[in-house]
Structure 1
Amino acid sequence: MKSNILAAALLLAPAAHAEQVGEVGVDWVGNDIIIEAIADPKVEGITCHIAYFDRSLIDRLSQGAWFEDPSNASIACRQTGPIRVGDIDMSEDGEQVFRESRSIILKSLRIKRIFDEANQTLIYLVHAQELTEGSAKMSISTVPLYGATLATD
């Protein structure tokens, strides 16, 4: 029952939308680095940029693993306007801000937001989540909340 409620909450949670803002070709077979901008749906005034590797069809056919991209990703989050913090999860586990599939069913790229109350800072973590094995590839970015409006204010 608890897992059904959690699944429903995840489906109803506001989903962040990624907008591609850059693409850099890295080799002759068509592999690219994609850069996307993602506005935090619950924290107005913060935008995260993620960069990740996008495998070409030629690379997929020659290297195998046809249906997935590597887990590598990098993130940078910055204040892009007045910060207004909405009703966010302030627990140590944080909450998912963004999810994007990196294979047909087994792997996804995720961004989690964690609130560091002692330092009045939001931490954004990008990582891959896999069904069968975890990945140690991750990147973090922090945004201090100097003078920000919190939902409790």
Structure 2
Amino acid sequence: MTMRKLLIVTSVIFTSLTAQAEQVGSVDTVFKMFGPDHKIVVEAFDDPDVKNVTCYISRAKTGGIKGGLGLAEDTSDAAISCQQVGPVELSDKIAKGDAEGEVVFRQRTSLVFKKLQVVRFYDQKRNALIYLSYSDKVVDGSPKNALSAVPIMPWK
């Protein structure tokens, strides 16, 4: 298999294993004469492996000519909030603790090497799901991160 085919297959696999976000809204933060403005976008995604948990992420999106062409690198600033939106159903894998640190969301934030990721942990003692968002880069990642906890409650 050629390297190009391997990269395409790997990209398809990673994309299919993580949730896809839908944009809820955005606000402009800096006016740019050419290209789109810098903005903060708010996106929502459902945990692909836990029924009835939705997460909302706000993140910086670089505008300008480079941003409009998809060549800009977004900052590592992001916030996350996750909620139970119905009766939560955990898979056996998650309930047993076999899915700790599993990536549930991944968004490219630069042309090649930088990604915003969300990983899930299950705190069995407190019966809560914890979602950690962070930015990583092949050479030099960022310590900036955000955390959201979802206590699993009975649903009527």
Q: TM-score, normalised by structure 1?
A: 0.79
Compute the RMSD of aligned alpha carbons: 2.6
Number of positions where the alignment pairs a residue of Structure 1 with one of Structure 2: 137
SS of the equivalent of 2:30 reads coil
- The aligned counterpart of 1:80 is 85
Q: Give the Å deviation of 1:87.
A: 4.3
Amino acid at match of 1:70: T
Pairing 1:70–2:75 present: yes
Return the structure number with greater helix share.
Answer: 2
Q: 1:25 aligns with which of 2, 23, 28?
A: 28
Amino acid at match of 1:78: Q
Q: Give the Å deviation of 1:28.
A: 1.9
**CA offsets 1:44-70 (integer angstroms, 9 cap, x no match):** 11100000011111586xxxxx53110
Amino acid at match of 2:72: F
Q: 2:63 aligns with which of 56, 66, 89?
A: 56
Q: TM-score, normalised by structure 2?
A: 0.78
- The aligned counterpart of 1:140 is 147
Unpaired segments ≥5 residues, structure 2: 1-8
SS of the equivalent of 1:26 reads strand
Q: Once the two structures are aligned, what percentage of the paired residues are identical?
A: 35
Cα pair 1:91 1:114 within 8 Å, conserved: no
Amino acid at match of 2:47: D
- The aligned counterpart of 1:11 is 13
Pairing 1:119–2:126 present: yes
Amino acid at match of 1:115: Y
Q: Give the Å deviation of 1:146.
A: 2.4
CA distance in 2, matches of 1:81, 1:105: 37
